Amino acid sequence: MIPSLRRAMRPWQILHRQPYPPSTVISPRVDASSPLEEENTPYYSPKHFYPARIGEVLDQRYQLATKLGHGSGSTVWLARDLSRWRWMQERYVAIKIKSNNQRSRPEDAEGERSILQRITTTNPKHDGWHYVRKLLDSFEVTGISGEHTCLVFQPLREPLWMFCLRYPDEVIPFDMIKLMLRMLLPALDYLHSECNIIHADLKLDNIMIRLEDPAILDEDARDAYANPLPEKHCDDGRIIYLSRNNWGPPRGVTGYVCIHDFDSAVDGNMPHYGSIQAEVYRAPEVILEADFSYAADIWSLGALLWNLLEGTRLFKAIDPHITGEYDDANHLAYITALLGVPPKELLEKGRKTSLLYDGNGVLKGPKPIPTDFSFDHVITNISGEEKQMFIKFVKRMLQWRPEDRSTAAELLKDPWLYDNFPQD
């Protein structure tokens, strides 16, 4: 809503929902000497993160009710929308408050906002439009070191990694995986073919499950008001809150997914270089620093399917959470075991190729190619014809050359997504 219209409506605000008064319950305290939540992220700075407080009203409209989470450059909050008439049902939104440090500069936030506006408005008639997160509103708030961009969204239930934890061995049923792919592929097709946007950071954290019952939001907000979680009170007056982001087992049918977090997204109409994507989902052209485009998203989606099918990561041997650090050459060795030697033309495009390969296209250093790493070996939870059909499907996504990977629209026609196969 434009500011002039907001000002014109102020006399009517008495008919709107009013902010809750501050809770009289004294919350437990957390040790002030220990880093908490966003303080543990590598780019945290108290100067550049907005010191939001529960109960605070932002933009004369949104009252912060609970903290939903945080990232390396933002915090996310559940908020009441006070613009609702008193006789209407409560409406809640999720607000992402961006930091304003050098890594998350105002122009970067503007870039994310611009991309979100493009996603929201380009073509609502496209099937994939329903499976990407849209921007409801945006505004600025002033912190101690300048302006912070705030992005307003519909609240969602939980990231896909948390949803996986609700199943034995963190493995989602096959029919549900296929259903999710029939949402994720239209979403990627919408981003790529309609919006000309590369997500550039597709992973389980950035795929969310939709909320099955909006009443959960009001219950959570009221519980936070009556039973606040422990807080960290800092010497400079800041309060660091614990996130309330687990709303328990689903109350009904869920599994509907939504791609979100376009903080790293870029325009697909121009060539791009540099490190994007989480390491274990990183495409070969990204590792080599050849130019990347939409096909990098396709690679990431193919790689993360192992999280859903097997409850593990395809390239777990290079996962820095397991190995202690990430290594480009080791990653390339495992890709080679899976796909064979890299094409010469891809190596010629890479800015880092000379650091990783010798003149004959052989990996440098003591990085032997694994001998027991293959599609057949790393797929254990499906068998028979379904396994072979899945391998054919995923091989269309995991190819050395970006131009050899199928598009999202092409993958959506794959028979594996629609057939049911008996298990051996």
C-alpha–C-alpha distance, residues 130 and 184, integer Å: 10
Q: With contact defined as beta carbons under 8 Å apart, do 31 and 234 qualify?
A: no
Query: Within 10 A of 260 (CB to CB), how many other CB atoms are there?
Result: 21
Termini Cα distance of the chain: 58
How do the domains of the chain map onto residue ranges? 39-234+243-417
**Which superfamily does 39-234+243-417 belong to?**
Transferase(Phosphotransferase) domain 1 (1.10.510.10)
Predicted model pTM:
0.91
> What ranges in 190-278 are assigned the alpha helix state H?
215-226
Q: What is the pLDDT along the chain (424 residues), one digit of tens a residue?
A: 434 344 444 566 677 778 888 888 999 999 988 999 999 988 888 999 999 999 999 999 999 999 999 988 899 999 999 988 676 788 999 999 999 875 554 445 558 899 999 999 999 999 999 999 999 999 999 988 899 999 999 999 999 999 999 999 999 998 999 999 999 999 999 999 999 999 999 999 999 999 999 999 999 999 999 999 999 999 989 999 999 988 888 888 887 999 999 989 999 988 888 888 999 999 999 999 999 999 999 999 999 999 999 999 999 888 777 777 888 999 999 999 999 999 999 999 999 999 999 988 899 876 778 888 999 999 999 999 999 999 999 999 999 999 999 999 999 999 999 987 655 5
What contacts 165, CB < 8 A, 6 or more positions away? none
3-state helix, strand, coil in the chain (%, to 5): 40, 15, 45
C-alpha–C-alpha distance, residues 91 and 214, integer Å: 9
Q: Which residues does the annotation place in the binding site for ATP?
A: 96
Give how far the C-alpha of residue 125 lies from the chain's centroid of Cα atoms, to the nearest Å. 24
Q: Which residues does the annotation place in the binding site?
A: 96
**Could you list the active site residues?**
201
Backbone angles phi, psi at 233, to 5 degrees: -100, 115
Q: With contact defined as beta carbons under 8 Å apart, do 342 and 378 qualify?
A: no
